[in-house]
Amino acid sequence: MQASIHEGTAVPSAAKVGEVMQAIAEHKGCGTSGGSGKASCGSAAGQGDLPTEIWEKVKNHPCYSEEAHHHYARMHVAVAPACNIQCNYCNRKYDCANESRPGVVSEKLTPEQAAKKVLAVASTIPQMTVLGIAGPGDPLANPEKTFKTFELINKTAPDIKLCLSTNGLALPDHVDTIAGFNVDHVTITINMVDPEIGAKIYPWVFWKHKRYTGVEAAKLLTDRQLQGLEMLTERGILCKVNSVMIPGVNDKHLVEVNKAVKSRGAFLHNIMPLISAPEHGTVFGLTGQRGPTAQELKALQDSCEGEMNMMRHCRQCRADAVGLLGEDRSAEFTTDKIMAMEVNYDLDTRKAYQAKVEEERVAKVAAKQEELSTLAGEMSDIKLLVAVATKGSGLINEHFGHAKEFQVYELSTSGAKFVGHRRVDLYCQGGFGDEENLETAIRAINDCHAVFVAKIGGCPKADLLTAGIEPVDQFAHEFIEKSAIAWFKSYLDKVNSGEIEHVERGDAEIRQGALISAA
Ligand code: CLF
Ligand code: SF4
């Protein structure tokens, strides 16, 4: 299919692209939103040191801006079933509504069904700003379906940003088409730049009617991925690189990957944990390959942060995910339901809603800055983690027992910095608490000093305290960062007065049986 070229998608001049990419390379802070006063690309207080054209692209993209992910949603449409490579962490053979792993979806869609679904979701969820194609296979191994979907959405819902995630093998062949469709955001999953390491991750790739294996396959893949990355950044398209951290295979090597992708103009690096269990039926699951612990993952992300912007809020979404990152509303939008739905796509309503969201963001950032000023002059090396139960909007607005995940913030005299999230199984089972799930939830946040909740019952409170984690419900329905900074200030006061002694916490578990996605 020949892509239609839309107005306004002209390739910028080389000089302009050079300026912008230079600014990207120098920019730090996206996805970290620290309280250090350093600009964050998710900050509603301003665009900081970001060029306006980049700011416009990231400010309401939930994956490219950590701050935006509290407010804006994305959706994926599963129009791309085939894949042209095999990853040892992927099995697309079966679906489970409670699990997400590479390629797991409930329904595959035609481009026409996908376009209808986008309109249905956009009418129901006005904060849905981004449509991504991320599988269940590789979007560029299914170029007709992928680009037909983009064409239809460009026509019917032009305010929605288009996003694409690929393994990169076919990328160099499609860069011009991607640019022609005004796609501003492309993710490439790059797990290695050394074919010897790649041979341990990819058993084969299929290229120009031929199957390649071993080091030869990995060499072909890495060459094509890096070529595609360079071609995209030359055209001013924002590129995010996803890497799966596989302990003992590529964990140490990912520092080198980070340098390689930064030098080619990547905007953001997202290092995700391998989630691997035998029941997933993947090669790594069946051979007992473990994923990283929470501390191992954070240490690697921290070590790469000096080099470039790191994403830490990825939820490793399903290929048909709908909603805010961390929530999944895909069951509300099955094909049957969409066909029966009265779709009322109203741009004005969407804009009005988003204007309200922007007001909330400004208020949130102002509250954080005000609280941060109370830490001025504090001298302490203490850094600690806290967990937060939230339904979104940057508020502590979820009950402990209803939380499906906890967001994790690092607190220091620099402020509150989002550093990750932990998925957990529901503790509250409607009238009673599941003790086993409580234990796994505590293990998931075992590296945290406190957990901030809107409400919590007596039993879990006691168990958390026994585990050394302070349940904090005094900031119910208040802003997360402002509250966390206020709590940290009082923690420091208690340490300084000798009322409590600061102790380091242990490691935490990343829940197995969550998901991995090609996105
Ligand atoms: Fe989807 Fe990916 Fe676009 Fe986001 S997801 S195609 S960039 S709109 Fe986001 Fe999901 Fe992580 Fe992907 S949280 S898996 S990074
Ligand atoms: Fe293909 Fe993605 Fe699965 Fe890898 S993870 S085999 S690229 S669908």
Q: Whose CA is nearest to atom 2 of ligand 2?
A: 518
User: Which tens digit of pLDDT belongs to each residue from 453-512?
Assistant: 999 988 889 999 999 999 999 999 999 999 999 999 999 999 999 999 999 998 888 875
Determine how many CB atoms are found less than 10 A away from the CB of residue 465: 11
Q: At what angle do helices 294-305 and 254-263 cross, to 10 degrees?
A: 30
Run of H or E residues at 131: strand 128-133
Task: State the distance from the centre of ligand 2 to the C-alpha of 137, rounded, in angstroms.
Answer: 6
The residue length of the chain stands at 519
Cα separation, 201 vs 210, whole angstroms: 19
Report the nearest-CA residue for atom 2 of ligand 1.
519
337 CA from centroid of ligand 2 (Å): 29
The pLDDT value recorded for residue 512 is 57
282: pLDDT strictly greater than 60 = yes
**3-state secondary structure at position 379:** coil
Query: Within 10 Å of residue 119's Cβ, how many Cβ atoms?
Result: 19
C-alpha of residue 268 to centroid of ligand 2, in Å? 20
Once rounded to an integer, what is the mean pLDDT over residues 8-27? 39
C-alpha 293 to ligand 1 mean position (Å): 22
Peptide bond into 136 cis (omega under 30): yes
Helix (H/G/I), strand (E/B), else coil: 260: helix
Nearest CA to ligand 1 atom 12: 519
Biggest distance spanned by C-alpha atoms of the chain: 71
Does the pLDDT of residue 428 top 90, yes or no? no
CA neighbor of 510 nearest in space, from 433, 445, 463: 445
SS3 assignment, position 140: helix
The closest alpha carbon to 31, from 61, 74, 7, 73, belongs to: 61
359-414 pLDDT, tens digit each: 888 888 888 888 888 888 888 999 999 999 999 889 999 999 999 899 999 999 99
Ligand in closest contact with the CA of 167: 2
Ligand nearest to the CA of residue 61, numbered in listed order = 1
Span 167-183, average pLDDT? 96
SS3 408: strand
Q: What is the pLDDT of residue 519?
A: 41
The pair of three-digit structure tokens given for residue 126, joined into one six-digit string: 């006005």
Tell which atom from ligand 2 comes closest to the C-alpha of 518.
Answer: 2
189 CA closest ligand 2 atom index: 7
- The number of the ligand nearest the C-alpha atom of 225 reads 2
Lining residues, ligand 2, CB within 6 Å: 83, 85-87, 90, 102-103, 135, 137-138, 167, 518
Q: Atom 4 in ligand 2: which residue has the minimum CA distance?
A: 87
C-alpha torsion sign, points 176, 180, 184, 187: negative
Query: Is residue 387 exposed (0-12), middle (13-18) or buried (19+ Cβ within 10 Å)?
Result: buried
pLDDT of residue 2 exceeding 70? no
The pLDDT of residue 25 is above 90: no
**Range from 141-155, 436-450, 502-516 that averages highest in pLDDT:** 141-155
Q: What is the mean pLDDT of the chain?
A: 84
pLDDT value at position 97? 35
Res 214 pLDDT > 70: yes
Return the bridge partners of 423, or none: 405
Answer yes or no: are the C-beta atoms of 138 and 518 closer than 8 Å.
yes
**Residue ranges lining ligand 1, Cβ < 6 Å:** 63, 74, 76, 130, 132, 134, 163, 165, 185, 187, 270, 314-317, 325, 517, 519
Give which of 256, 293, 258, 257 is closest to 275, Cα–Cα: 293
pLDDT beyond 90 at 276: no
The whole-number pLDDT of residue 9 equals 26
Pick the more confident residue, 18 or 473.
Answer: 473
Report which of 313, 291, 289 is spatially closest to residue 301, judged by C-alpha positions. 313
Distance 102 CA to ligand 1 centre (A): 12
Percent of the chain with pLDDT over 70: 86
**Of residues 153 and 4, more confidently modeled:** 153
Structure tokens at 399: 């009950």
Q: What is residue 14's predicted lDDT score, i.e. its pLDDT? A: 39
Q: Among 76, 79, 84, 85, name the best residue to mutate to test ligand 2's pocket (greatest count of ligand atoms within 8 A of Cβ).
A: 85
pLDDT band at 106 (very low <50, low <70, confident <90, very high): low
- Nearest CA owner, ligand 1 atom 14: 316
pLDDT over 70 (residue 514)? no
